[in-house]
Amino acid sequence: MSEIQQKFDAISKKYDEQRRKFIPCFGDFYGATVSVASADAENPDILDIGAGTGLLSAFLMERYPGASFTLIDISEKMLDMAKDRFRNNSNIKYIAADYSKYDFVEKYDMVVSALSIHHLEDEEKKELYKKSYSMLKENGIFINADQVHGETPFIENLNKTTWRQSVENSGLLEEEILAGYERTRLDKDSKLGQQLDWLKEAGFCDVSCIYKYYQFAVMFGRKIV
């Protein structure tokens, strides 16, 4: 079992509740992601990579109640939370696997991810962006709502200091805060500009950062054949 899998198995039950406190811009961050998730299809096929407890998929379901979802995550315990959350929805498939190594066979209208891809090394991120492009149908869209590295050491320090101040005033218990800080040791954040370039290199058009608050950014790209 990987260290990432262990850490997220351990936090699975409290994950959603804590995420609101660990993300100062929670409402806008997820709101921007959902607002830009426009598909041609009335009931799109959506792949959620690093889906965790299904939080992003839950927000997207409000916009697309008839959509078909595929949730993939390395942590079975996190997916168990998603299965419980969506127990009344039969339009969902679950895959417990490492999405950076998994061989997908289907095509999707939308490939989305929230706060997961930053755990990959740079080369793995680049490969995942290429893979995501290949998995999309024509006019399909890719959205990565994630945390990014500061453009300079000064900005990186500003981002992290501001974030820590917010977390420490959020009402989280001290052990929850320390566990959250411990999980950040697994982070491999990349700069925003670099990632937008990788999306373009993968073939995406209309590449943009459509929302940013300190280190939290929503990246967007479209597949036009």
Q: Which residues contact 123 (CB under 8 A, 6 or more apart)?
A: none
Q: CATH no. for residue 205?
A: 3.40.50.150
Supply 151's token pair.
């453009």
* Statement: the pTM of the whole predicted model exceeds 0.95: no
The pLDDT of residue 209: 98
The whole domain housing 23 covers 3-222
Amino acid 23 reads: I
Separation between Cα atoms, residue 115 and residue 129, nearest integer Å = 15
> Exposed (0-12), middle (13-18) or buried (19+): which is 159, by Cβ within 10 Å?
buried
Contact yes or no for 94/83 (Cβ under 8 A): yes
Place of tokens 């697994």: 186
Distance CA 185, CA 60 (A): 29
Whole-number Cα distances in Å, 193 to 51, 79, 95, 141, 182: 24, 32, 31, 19, 27
Q: What are phi and psi of 110, to 5 degrees?
A: -150, 130
> So what's the pLDDT on residue 20?
87
Q: Give the pLDDT of residue 18.
A: 84
The number of distinct structural domains making up the chain is 1
Locate 84 and state its tokens.
């419980």
**Taking a C-beta distance cutoff of 8 angstroms, is the pair 115, 187 a contact?**
no
Give me the tens of pLDDT residue by residue for the chain, a chain 225 residues long: 566 556 545 544 577 778 888 999 999 999 999 999 999 899 999 999 999 999 999 999 999 999 999 999 999 989 999 999 999 999 999 999 999 999 999 999 999 999 999 999 999 999 999 999 999 999 999 999 999 999 999 999 999 999 999 999 999 889 889 988 888 888 999 999 999 999 999 999 999 999 999 999 999 999 998
Average pLDDT of the chain to the nearest whole number:
92
94: β partners = 71
